[in-house]
Structure 1
Amino acid sequence: MKKLGLATALLLAMTGAQAYQFEVQGQSEFIDNTVNDKNFTGAVQGTYYFKNVDASKGPLAEAAFLNQASNASLAYNYGEYDVNADKADFVSHTIGAKAEAYIPTKVVPVYASASYSNTITDNKDNKTDDHGDRYAVEVGAVVVPNFLVAVGYTSAPNQTSYDAFNILSNGVAKAALESKTIARDQDAVTARTKYVGAIDGTNMAIGFETNVLFAEYKTYGFKTDLFVNPKLSVGASYAESSISDSPNKAWGANVNYFITPAVAVGANYVSANAEKGSVRDTETVGVNAKFRF
């Protein structure tokens, strides 16, 4: 009977379950720069929601946000990078832990989050290995339905420290751009917005996110998604930093599709074209998958 119950639960998850409490996602990106096209990353994230997430309304990709679902996550990213002409040859390991909470009040739902990431850089070019920490907190509110506004503080005392969750959300190129920006200063102030809303008279929805980071220099980004239907979305993104290094800007495109309400696949592309002849002229192509149960 136990085996039958497990098999039934798995079948429901694979074919059409409209509520879930766990989400596991994996991602891999192939990095092509001016002098090497064999670099790659691999990442995985697991998220536990404290209550069941109702995925029956709105875009499946944004079910947790639409439900204001408090959660806890763990993430890991592995990356190999080798550019001989730029004297960069290393393996990177980034682990992260994050918690998000939505707290109802009489006025508006209040949002809070805290995260920690640790990056271990295993240098292969006779340089000393590196070990960097990053801490971040955010507070905000859902000021109108499905519209979040949040501000935060990030501390990255070591210059080589990546946000494990930023890698999974926006790709390694944009995460590296943000890391290079905050590396100019150990502390940074952040602000972001997120909105998801239906397009009247259609089965479609639109979503957008904006973010800005202020340190000695600053970086900002914009991301938008068109949900053609609850299962399928296409999106575009852009990020730019005021650092003098190149590349200091990146744009991207993505597509995601839910095969069932519990299983999704996607692909993304990011271009970070360098100026001034840098060997870091970079393109990334990524694939990802999600499983909910």
Structure 2
Amino acid sequence: MKKLGLATALLLAMTGAQAYQFEVQGQSEFIDNTVNDKNFTGAVQGTYYFKNVDSSKGPLAEAAFLNQASNVAVAYNYGEYDVDADREDLVSHTIGAKAEAYVPTKYVPVYASASYSNTIIDNKNNRADDHGDRYAVELGAVIAPNFLVAVGYTSVANQTSYDAFNQFNNGVAKAALESDTIDQDQDAITARTKYVGAIDGTNMSIGFDAGLVYGEETAYNLGTTLYLNNKLSVGVSYLESDLADIDSAIGANVNYFITPAVAVGASFVDANATESNRDTQTVGLNAKFRF
């Protein structure tokens, strides 16, 4: 009977869940640049929402945002890089923890987040290992329905320090660009906006996001996602940095919910190196499960 009950619960989660409280995601990226095409990353992320998330309000991919769902999350990213046999051969581990909260007020919902990430670099070729911590906080508000504006502060104690959640959600190439933009300036200011809304007269929705990182250099990013229906979405993004060697990255992604609880997706990022031979392309595959 216990086995039957477990199988029934799993079947319901796989086929028709309209509310969920846990989300588990996994992804892997394959990295191709002009000096090596054998690098890859793997990542997992788990999120717990303090209240059930209603996934019937709009695009399934944005259910947590549309519900203003407070949560805590953990992430782990693994990467193997063999960019140059003489100089760079390493294994990277990044772990992170994050909390997000939406607090209703008499004026607008207030948003706050705090995160911590730690990166450990296991260098080969007789080079010293490295590691670094980073802390980040954000404060903002939902100033209009489904329209978030937030500003933040990031402290990077070591150049070798990546944001585990940025790396998971936006890919290793963009996370590396963001880290290089902050550079040895250990304090950075961030700002971002996000909006998701229905397209009148259709069953489609549109999403926009924009962000700024101001550290040793400055980086800007823009993105838009078209939700063709509540299950299927396609998106494009652009990041530009003041860095001299790699100054921009263009991305595209597609995501599809097989059921309200199970989704798969793919992504592509092309990072342009203007003053070096390190043009980089990444191809990613991801999946998520909600229950």
| Structure-2-length-normalised TM-score | 0.98
**What is the rounded CA distance, in whole Å, between the counterparts of 1:119 and 1:237 in structure 2?**
25
Amino acid at match of 2:175: A
The aligned residue for residue 291 of structure 1 is: 289
Quick check: 2:158–2:184 contact (8 Å CA) kept in 1? no
Moved more, 3-12 or 171-180: 3-12
The aligned residue for residue 277 of structure 2 is: 279
The aligned residue for residue 120 of structure 1 is: 120
**What is the rounded CA distance, in whole Å, between the counterparts of 1:83 and 1:14 in structure 2?**
40
The aligned residue for residue 102 of structure 2 is: 102
**For 1:216-244, what per-residue CA distance to the aligned partner results, in whole angstroms no more than 9, with x for missing partners?**
21111011100000000000001111122
Paired residues for 1:214-225 under 5 Å: 214-225=214-225
**What is the rounded CA distance, in whole Å, between the counterparts of 1:237 and 1:172 in structure 2?**
14
**What is the rounded CA distance, in whole Å, between the counterparts of 1:24 and 1:92 in structure 2?**
22
**What is the rounded CA distance, in whole Å, between the counterparts of 2:218 and 2:85 in structure 1?**
28
**What is the rounded CA distance, in whole Å, between the counterparts of 1:282 and 1:242 in structure 2?**
17
Amino acid at match of 2:193: T
Amino acid at match of 2:89: D
Report the alpha carbon displacement of residue 247 of structure 1 after superposing the two structures with TM. 1.5
**What is the rounded CA distance, in whole Å, between the counterparts of 1:216 and 1:39 in structure 2?**
28
Report the alpha carbon displacement of residue 8 of structure 1 after superposing the two structures with TM. 1.7
Amino acid at match of 1:38: K
Is the alpha carbon distance of 1:131 and 1:21 closer, same or farther for their aligned partners in structure 2, counting shifts above 3 Å? same
Report the alpha carbon displacement of residue 93 of structure 1 after superposing the two structures with TM. 0.1
Amino acid at match of 1:249: S
Question: Any runs of at least 4 consecutive aligned residues in structure 1 with deviations exceeding 3 A, and if so which?
Answer: none
Quick check: 2:86–2:125 contact (8 Å CA) kept in 1? no
Quick check: 1:198–1:204 contact (8 Å CA) kept in 2? yes
The aligned residue for residue 138 of structure 1 is: 138
Report the alpha carbon displacement of residue 86 of structure 1 after superposing the two structures with TM. 7.1
Secondary structure of the structure 1 residue equivalent to 2:58 = coil
**For 1:67-96, what per-residue CA distance to the aligned partner results, in whole angstroms no more than 9, with x for missing partners?**
000000000000011122672111000000
Amino acid at match of 2:285: V
**For 1:140-176, what per-residue CA distance to the aligned partner results, in whole angstroms no more than 9, with x for missing partners?**
0000010000000000010010000001111000000
Quick check: 1:35–1:85 contact (8 Å CA) kept in 2? no
Amino acid at match of 2:255: N
Quick check: 1:184–1:217 contact (8 Å CA) kept in 2? no
The aligned residue for residue 82 of structure 2 is: 82
Secondary structure of the structure 2 residue equivalent to 1:273 = strand
Report the alpha carbon displacement of residue 9 of structure 1 after superposing the two structures with TM. 1.4
Secondary structure of the structure 2 residue equivalent to 1:248 = strand
The aligned residue for residue 16 of structure 2 is: 16
The aligned residue for residue 61 of structure 2 is: 61
**For 1:182-209, what per-residue CA distance to the aligned partner results, in whole angstroms no more than 9, with x for missing partners?**
1230000100000000000100000011
Moved more, 210-219 or 261-270: 210-219
The aligned residue for residue 249 of structure 1 is: 248
The aligned residue for residue 165 of structure 2 is: 165
The aligned residue for residue 264 of structure 2 is: 265
Secondary structure of the structure 1 residue equivalent to 2:106 = coil
| Structure-1-length-normalised TM-score | 0.97
1:194 matched to 2:194? yes
Quick check: 1:247–1:273 contact (8 Å CA) kept in 2? yes
Amino acid at match of 1:287: L
Quick check: 2:113–2:138 contact (8 Å CA) kept in 1? yes
Identity rate, percent: 79
**What is the rounded CA distance, in whole Å, between the counterparts of 2:188 and 2:3 in structure 1?**
51
**Unaligned runs of at least 5 residues, structure 2:** none
**What is the rounded CA distance, in whole Å, between the counterparts of 1:105 and 1:80 in structure 2?**
46
The aligned residue for residue 156 of structure 1 is: 156
Amino acid at match of 2:181: T
Secondary structure of the structure 1 residue equivalent to 2:246 = coil
RMSD, aligned CA: 1.0
**What is the rounded CA distance, in whole Å, between the counterparts of 1:37 and 1:187 in structure 2?**
34
